[in-house]
Structure 1
Amino acid sequence: MVKDYGKDGARPISDKEGTFSTMKQTEIGLLPEEWDVNSLKEICKDMIQGINTAIDVPEYSFEGVPILKANNVIDGQIDLNNCEFISVKSFRKYSTRFHISKNDFLLSNIGARLGSGSIYLTDAVSVYAWNVMRLSPKKNIINPHYFSQILNSPYFNKLMINNQSGSGMGFVPKNVLQTFQIPLPPLPEQEAIAEALSDADAWIESLEQLIAKKRLIKQGAMQELLTPKKDWEVKKLGEVGKIYGGLSGKTKQDFGSGNSYYIPFMNVMKNVVTDKNFIEKVNLKQGETQNRVLKNDLLFNGSSETPEELGISSVLLDDIDNLYLNSFCFGFRIFDENVSPIFLSYIMRSPYGREVIFYLAQGATRYNLSKANFFNLEIAFPKSLTEQTRIATILSDMDGELEALEGQLGKARKVKQGMMQELLTGRVRLV
């Protein structure tokens, strides 16, 4: 199963106490000498694909026993929010073969979520569908929580991606999955590794929950602050500013290099305030006439596959030389000094603004926003520029807090990835 370097070829690695452990070469790389490598077939009591609901259709019900599918067992979580249920009668039919026991691992084995999965931590009664593989680890060989961390690691994910079959939705056949090799430290070290990585997971989860809470608070604030009040005044957008188009006459070869910059489509779609770091190069010929984007300009997408995503706004609040707009969007330059650009960007993204845009969408398979309709669009504003600024500042501060938390979340995920790389290869020892 493993191959030693031998007396002259062994490699040392330092542990937490500053002493050294000898490393050996295995079929999956260098590992500590005390570690083993075993196949999933050796590690698991059984590996069983779930109920093929396309052939053996269960009796679904509004209440009953959960039937877990791939979208319910992703990213280390059991998500029952969109779970389907089968009747108790159907459960009895499937319970012997397709039941789930505590500490089983449910692996998404087909489709876009290939390789993602979660440990089942409760005694609650459930079954699982055909796009999930149940892996039941042998407790005397592997700690279930360590097993879960390994199966959610980049190492295992790479194995799944590289060994998938099928011309449509990818899948890994059971006979192939059984051959996957898993590093096995002694059980006490498995437990220590699992505990350390679980602490990292708890940190990530706490940040995710805080971000979700802050987003709900912001949604409530937008609803409250941007719903028109009785003393607000209504203005047509054609009375407030003028439209200009994005880049025109460009070819694929013009993008990616050059002496000018443009704002990509997704920068407009994702950001209330245009991200100055999310711009790309474009080549403009000498004397070429294109519309520049200036500070305080609003940017809108004028076409979308759904009316809900039409007319999404973003505002540029930075001075950037030689900046232009992608050809799928249009710019709006405000000339009314009593209208705050950032307030207008927020209100156009609010439930009120989205509803106004929704009814102007034209099309069947693709929706468009005409220039004439945009100019005639009536939007309510607080009469006072100070009040517009106050509202925009509150929402901007909330966005800043969310951005900071998302930055922390990104760092936490990177820390977890680094920990996995070190702990699951034995480069750092905890025992």
Structure 2
Amino acid sequence: MSRENWESRPLGDLASFASGKTPPRSRQAEYFDAGEIPWVKTMDLNNGRISRTSECITSRAVSDTKIRIHPPGTVLIAMYGGFSQIGRTGILCAPAATNQAITAIFPDPDSLDSRYLLHFLNYKVDYWRTVASSSRKDPNITKSDVRGFPVDLPSLNEQKEISEALDDAEERIFSLRQLIAKKQAVKQGIVQQLLSGNMRLPGFAESWASVSLGELGIFLKGRGVRRDDVRPSGIPCIRYGELYTEFANYTAVTRSFVSHEVAATALPIYSGDLLFAGSGETRDEIGMCVAYVGEQEAVAGGDIVVLRGSGFNPVYLATLANSPAVAQQKARAGQGDAVVHISSRALAEITVKIPERVEQDAVAEVLIDADRELGALHRRLGKAHEQKIGMMQELLTGRTRLSVQGEGEA
């Protein structure tokens, strides 16, 4: 089959449109509290099925403001919010209203399948960058822009076949996301129970000891690495900002590298070292901890405080150091307002309750196993995303055609 029987038409020829509104917030109790009608805002748009919203409005709000309730199958698109927001989409699974930042699209059922439109809008999201304009700080799009959006159309039957195929791919992604969220919640519960001692692994019953971090080793200060020093290869390096953004509790690899000359001026770190962020934007995040468990010698950048010692499992202790109870101690020890700092002396005074090393090792292995399972699921999710993108590139451009019963080849 060829693409010759496809046509490109402006969306305005294929659908009707409506805007939403926001009931007056001054009447919060009447219009929002105990609301039962879903009310969609830009942040509710997920580029897929919308079955729930962060806020609902009341029947009184609907009758007083004449806000329109849209039926299931309505396609929604965000108009405001800059390049990070415009073009976000969703399709209603239940009747709902929207605010004024969203345009509702009602495809003509004889010409355009609503699910096909959703997938096509998602595939062409970069189109809005070419038409966005604004007299305000953030770019936006207008209803005229939406009406002029060009839609590439196969037959209605083929649209539905394409939608089914892409819906199946999206369902696989949705199922994996749900599974990851479930596994993450289970892991979080296990971590809290094991680190507090409320749950013990089989074979362990010895009492735990209360110690300060200063009793577990010595503290050192990172130094000598600037952002401009980072390069794609060389000596592995961990910078303090990466403790917040790149790692969770422990890592065997680094994201950054520096030259041999820069590394010679920096603090070497070794497998088993604990790295604490010496500064942060809030007291809640100060002292974020990552254990370095890599085999290769690396270096620590400035504003990192390193705990080097023995007698503890680094994965266990780093995870414990990031737990809510210990984070509260670090928050109280932080100094400053706009930028919060924590010193090695303050970190040394943090107290933790820990079991013997053999139990720490066993708990750490449970945590590592859980992370391996989550890592495998995230890789499956990444592959599922790649497969869906590939399908969109093939099916929504006509490069690959689906056989449609009752339709001959062009």
Alignment equivalent of 1:220, drawn from 189, 207, 213: 189
Q: Aligned partners of 1:106, 1:182: CA distance in 2, in Å? A: 16
In structure 2, the partner of 1:271 is 248
Matched, 1:159 2:134: no
TM-score after normalising by structure 1: 0.84
Equivalent pair of 1:94/1:127 in contact (CA under 8 Å): no
Equivalent pair of 2:47/2:118 in contact (CA under 8 Å): no
Equivalent pair of 2:79/2:101 in contact (CA under 8 Å): yes
SS of the equivalent of 1:308 reads coil
Q: Paired residues, what number?
A: 389
Note the C-alpha offset of 1:368.
Answer: 1.7
Matched, 1:143 2:120: no
In structure 2, the partner of 1:103 is 73
Q: Aligned partners of 1:237, 1:266: CA distance in 2, in Å? A: 22
Alpha-carbon RMSD across the aligned residues, in angstroms, is: 2.3
Matches within 5 A, 1:351-390: 351-382=324-355, 384-390=356-362
Q: Aligned partners of 1:159, 1:390: CA distance in 2, in Å? A: 52
Alignment equivalent of 1:415, drawn from 383, 387, 390: 387
- Cα 1:403–1:360 change in 2 (3 A) is same
Note the C-alpha offset of 1:281.
Answer: 2.3
Equivalent pair of 1:362/1:369 in contact (CA under 8 Å): yes
In structure 2, the partner of 1:91 is 62
Q: Aligned partners of 2:401, 2:373: CA distance in 1, in Å? A: 37
Letter in 2 for 1:37: S
Alignment equivalent of 2:44, drawn from 72, 82, 87: 72
Letter in 2 for 1:358: A
In structure 2, the partner of 1:25 is none
In structure 1, the partner of 2:149 is 180
Q: Aligned partners of 1:253, 1:71: CA distance in 2, in Å? A: 36
Equivalent pair of 1:254/1:284 in contact (CA under 8 Å): no
In structure 2, the partner of 1:27 is none
Q: Aligned partners of 2:79, 2:350: CA distance in 1, in Å? A: 49
Equivalent pair of 2:272/2:293 in contact (CA under 8 Å): yes
Note the C-alpha offset of 1:318.
Answer: 1.4
- Cα 1:181–1:286 change in 2 (3 A) is closer
In structure 1, the partner of 2:374 is 402
SS of the equivalent of 1:309 reads coil
- Cα 1:55–1:401 change in 2 (3 A) is closer
Note the C-alpha offset of 1:414.
Answer: 0.7
Unmatched 5+ stretches in structure 1: 1-20, 23-31
Alignment equivalent of 1:239, drawn from 199, 203, 215: 215
Note the C-alpha offset of 1:257.
Answer: 6.0
Alpha-carbon deviations, 1:273-296, whole Å to 9, x = none? 2151x4222235389432111111
Q: Aligned partners of 1:212, 1:118: CA distance in 2, in Å? A: 21
Q: Aligned partners of 1:287, 1:368: CA distance in 2, in Å? A: 25
Matches within 5 A, 1:319-334: 319-321=295-297, 323-334=298-309
Q: Aligned partners of 1:259, 1:223: CA distance in 2, in Å? A: 38
Letter in 2 for 1:108: A
Alpha-carbon deviations, 1:219-238, whole Å to 9, x = none? 11011100146921011111
Letter in 1 for 2:340: Y
Equivalent pair of 1:109/1:172 in contact (CA under 8 Å): yes
In structure 1, the partner of 2:163 is 194
Alignment equivalent of 1:114, drawn from 80, 86, 89: 86
Equivalent pair of 2:226/2:301 in contact (CA under 8 Å): no
Note the C-alpha offset of 1:203.
Answer: 0.4
Note the C-alpha offset of 1:347.
Answer: 0.9
In structure 1, the partner of 2:97 is 127
Letter in 1 for 2:338: T
Letter in 1 for 2:315: I
Equivalent pair of 1:73/1:79 in contact (CA under 8 Å): no
In structure 2, the partner of 1:318 is 294
Equivalent pair of 1:76/1:116 in contact (CA under 8 Å): no
Note the C-alpha offset of 1:380.
Answer: 0.8
In structure 2, the partner of 1:303 is 279
- Cα 1:358–1:228 change in 2 (3 A) is farther
Q: Aligned partners of 2:394, 2:4: CA distance in 1, in Å? A: 16
Note the C-alpha offset of 1:246.
Answer: 2.0
Q: Aligned partners of 1:287, 1:413: CA distance in 2, in Å? A: 38
